[in-house]
Structure 1
Amino acid sequence: MKKQRAFLKWAGGKYSLVEQIIKHLPEGDLLVEPFVGAGSVFLNTNYERYILADINHDLIALFNTIKEQPEKFIDDARVLFNPQNNQTAAFYELRNFFNYTKSDYQKSLLFLYLNRHCYNGLCRYNSKGEFNVPFGQNYDRVYFPEDEIIAFSEKAQKAEFVCASYHSVMQNAQKGSVVYCDPPYVPLSVSSSFTSYYSIDFGIDDQKNLATLAENLAKKDIPVLISNHDTTDTRDWYQHAKLHSVTSRRSINSNGSGRKKIDELLALYS
């Protein structure tokens, strides 16, 4: 089966690792993702139903917009992808509009624009909740992901998108479901730290709490698969899971040749 790409760029996206993840995901009627991100696992699995969650309201609003009115969204979003908007001044003007508009629909259009035009496709907010990733500068031509949006909208009819915390989503998981967790990864070094997402820190306590929640769900016959960097800490946190070490490439880097292979860990609680 040909893999389906997400329509968003995403730091830590699982497109390159999706075959390995699928190999270790148990069967079930419902896949629950507390950290859905761009949705690569969702797009490349075949569960009957999905509950896909994230704490980022803008991301969930975008997914619901595409689920409910894909044709209108595509027509309106395409207008933003033109040479005039692929310039520094236009980018910051649109980024400012994104940060201050109260319209979920306008934010959804601009989220896609910013994702495709900003530096490395990152998603980052400041302490005020404002999107603050700078202009990408070096994109001669910016790809408009129409085909990927259409594929997402079709698959989205099987999904419920929820803006909620990971612990709330996991505590509400029901028997018969499978949970896949792709949390912000533990940093491999100080310079590579990416624990702040949507103005909320995901620190060591959250990493440990996630492992505890997974253990508790497994005791209720709800299997949980967690992905993270393969480190001494993660192996300690996930010591009660079945561990699988896999190799992948970093999905986002400003220099394609700099996308080095890294070791990741898949921890299965079942």
Structure 2
Amino acid sequence: MGRIPFLKWVGGKGRLLPRLGPLLPLSFTGTYWEPFLGGGAMFFFLRPQQAVLSDTNEELIRTYRAVREHPRDVAHAFERLVSKYWSPSGFAEVVKMQPGKMSDFAVAGRMLFLNRTAFNGLYRVNSKGQFNAPWGKYPQPTVLDLLDISLKLDQASNVMYGRTDIRTGDFEWILAGAEEGDFVYLDPPYVPLSETASFTSYAAGGFGPDDKKRLALLCTRLTKKGVRWMLSNSYNEVTKTLFDPATMPGVNHAVITAPRAVAAKSSSRSSVKELVIRNYT
């Protein structure tokens, strides 16, 4: 099967899968959980038989549900937006659309459109949950591009259909249902490496210091329940301290190199270190 994630997502793990793959469990018998779904690269890589996929971004979750159930309708909704709104002024009109008054496949079409027109595919919202990334000045997709997108949507639907529970919700509430034998992949919004490097506002409210502490405490509870988990984040002292093996027995740290995905110029996207934390070996 060809490439699937159908969304480009800042912090997405598509290019890191060759390095993350060897760090995954050799197998697991239970459910796969991914509570910070984003582009879903890890889910599409593993293609588990049973999965709970979730995120706090309601438009993102509505998009995944629509693609799972109606991939052709989503493709047609995207194509209509491309033909009518592919320009800076058209982009501004699509941004102003109100997802709460739209069908799921129309929301998904809008998500795909913004994903391919905004700067670097950046999905960013303000404190009111309104999209606020800038126009990216990309050429309009060709017929072949549209066919490729339609194929990706069909492939994604085939992988998700009949084996995924797709939910909107906070990670702690979602993962309360994880049980012994399950595997959880955690890819929370990154701790920024500088004052100008924070591209973490994918949903209103963001992901702050208290959320990071809640996540660390939750991981301790998951370990006690017999749930295996793997977490990836930028290499930073905050995460290293919260998940210190000295205070969280059973965890181990690994460091891999990741290409930086967001920068105004591609030439300035240097590699950075990525911290991977697991409660298994």
- Post-superposition offset of 1:227: 0.4
Identify the match of residue 185 of structure 2 among 167, 180, 184. 180
In 1, distance between residues paired with 2:99 and 2:227? 39
1:37-65, CA deviations, whole angstroms, 9 ceiling, x for partnerless residues?
A: 11100111142211110001101101101
TM-score, reference length from structure 1: 0.92
Give yes or no for the alignment of 1:17 onto 2:22: no
Deviation at 1:245, TM superposition (A): 0.3
Structure 1 partner of 2:254 = 244
Amino-acid identity (%): 31
Partner amino acid for 1:88? P
- Alignment check: 8 A CA contact 1:4 1:40 kept: no
Q: Find the counterpart in structure 1 of residue 101 from structure 2.
A: 101
User: Which residue of structure 2 lines up, in the alignment, with residue 135 of structure 1?
Assistant: 135
User: 1:113–1:195: structure 2 CA closer, same or farther, 3 Å change rule?
Assistant: closer
Contact 1:4 1:43 in 2 (8 A): no
Offset of 1:86 from its aligned partner?
2.0
1:110 Cα offset (Å): 0.9
Partners of 2:2 and 2:20 in 1: CA distance: 13
The answer to whether the 8 Å contact 1:5/1:15 transfers is: no
Aligned equivalent of 2:248 = none
Deviation at 1:17, TM superposition (A): 0.9
Matched ranges for 1:139-154 at <5 A: 139-142=138-141, 143-144=145-146, 145-154=149-158
With over 3 angstroms needed to count, the CA separation of the structure-2 counterparts of 1:8 and 1:46, relative to structure 1, is closer
Aligned to 1:171: 176
How many angstroms apart in 2 are the aligned matches of 1:115 and 1:213? Answer: 31
Aligned counterparts, 1:75-94, within 5 A = 75-82=76-83, 84-94=84-94
Aligned equivalent of 1:231: 236
Shift of 1:107: 1.7
- In structure 2, give the amino acid aligned to 1:205: D
Q: Shift of residue 163 of structure 1?
A: 0.5
Paired residue secondary structure (1:51): strand
**Unpaired segments of 5 or more residues in structure 2?**
246-250
The amino acid of 2:62's aligned partner reads A
Alignment of 1:189-268 (within 5 A): 189-240=194-245, 241-268=251-278
CA-CA distance at 1:74 after TM superposition: 1.6
Partner of 1:115: 115
Question: Residue 68 of structure 1 aligns to which amino acid in structure 2?
Answer: E
* 1:126-157 alpha-carbon deviations (Å, 9 max, x no partner): 22221122211x21234542222122111111
Q: What is the match of residue 3 of structure 2? A: 4
CA pair 74-259 structure 1, distance change in 2 beyond 3 A = same
**Partners of 2:124 and 2:262 in 1: CA distance:** 14
The Cα offsets for residues 57-111 of structure 1, whole Å up to 9 and x where unpaired, read as: 10110110111111222223222223x5221111111211245634333222111
Secondary structure class of the residue paired with 2:132: coil
| Paired residue secondary structure (1:80) | helix
1: CA distance, partners of 2:74 / 2:222: 38
Residues 231 and 278, structure 2, Cα contact 8 Å, conserved in 1: yes
Corresponding pairs, count: 267
What is the CA RMSD across the aligned residues, in angstroms? 1.8
Q: Distance in 1 between matches of 2:207 and 2:111?
A: 22
Distance 1:169 1:22 in 2: 24
Q: CA deviation at 1:177?
A: 0.9
Residue of structure 1 equivalent to 2:279: 269
SS of corresponding position for 2:81: coil
Cα distance in 1, alignment partners of residues 17 and 103 from structure 2: 34
Relative to structure 1, the CA distance from residue 195 to residue 85 in structure 2 (aligned partners, 3 Å threshold; closer, same or farther) is: closer
TM-score (normalizing by structure 2): 0.89
Q: Which runs of 5+ in 1 are unaligned?
A: none
Counterpart code for 1:48: Q
